[in-house]
Amino acid sequence: MRADGAGTHPAGPAAIVYLHGFRSSPASFKSCRMASALDALELGDRFHAPTLPPSPSLALRLAIAVCQVALDGADPATELVIVGSSLGGLYATAAAERLGCRAVLINPAVDVGRDLSPLVGTHTLFHDPSQSFDFLPSYVDELRAIAPATITRPERYFLIAATGDEVLDWRDADRLYAGARKTIVQGGDHGLSDFDRHLPAILDFCGIDAGRPAAG
């Protein structure tokens, strides 16, 4: 950022990392909408959305590595926000606990034994049905190993959970993220189809002033 103010941007973290959910990808609706919103603010270079592998342990390792590379030595406590949806919300929480950064959780997975065990098998990707992957029984054990039983410093977290989530029980997340900033959507769905309505609050949690355009 230049000292004379030219080319300055609305305030915000050095890196925002989006972690997609099960069977999803960086091409998800929410990922694309976040990227577009940040592009409009000339902050697109701060946004990162990796393609996560099926193995939870490898997915978390990759997510943390992407965060560290994007930070380039900056302090994660102030310069990193991870946004995670569904299973990506679990990864975002695990990464935030390890890195000490902020995280936004959108209908996050919490009870992995109950909710993910039935998904063992072969699946296709939502955004590219020609691509498939195997979700192995050992992956459920990996999820149990990395899933935080509690969170520290609830103020680092922002939960958005829909009571109409047809995949996960929103009350699990409501309990885990006790004390965190929350938006409980009455009704809604697992994909949070009204995501655009929540984008301003997400950007605000990131410390981004979406109402002030970047100076050119």
- Record the tokens describing residue 101, joined without a space: 């950064």
Q: What angle do CA 207, 59, 120 make, to 5 degrees?
A: 125
Going along the chain from its start, the domains and CATH numbers come out as: 15-205 (3.40.50.1820)
- The 3-state DSSP class for residue 129 equals strand
114-126 pLDDT, tens digit per residue, is 999 999 999 998 8
**Least confident piece of the model among 6-10, 93-97, 151-155, 206-210:** 6-10
Q: 171 Cβ partners below 8 Å, 6+ apart? A: none
Per the CB < 8 A criterion, the answer to whether 113 and 26 are in contact is: no
- Record the tokens describing residue 193, joined without a space: 């189809």
pTM over 0.85: yes
Residue 98 buriedness (CB in 10 A; 0-12 / 13-18 / 19+): middle
163-209 pLDDT, tens digit per residue, is 999 999 999 999 999 999 999 999 999 999 999 999 999 999 999 98
- Record the tokens describing residue 99, joined without a space: 């890195």
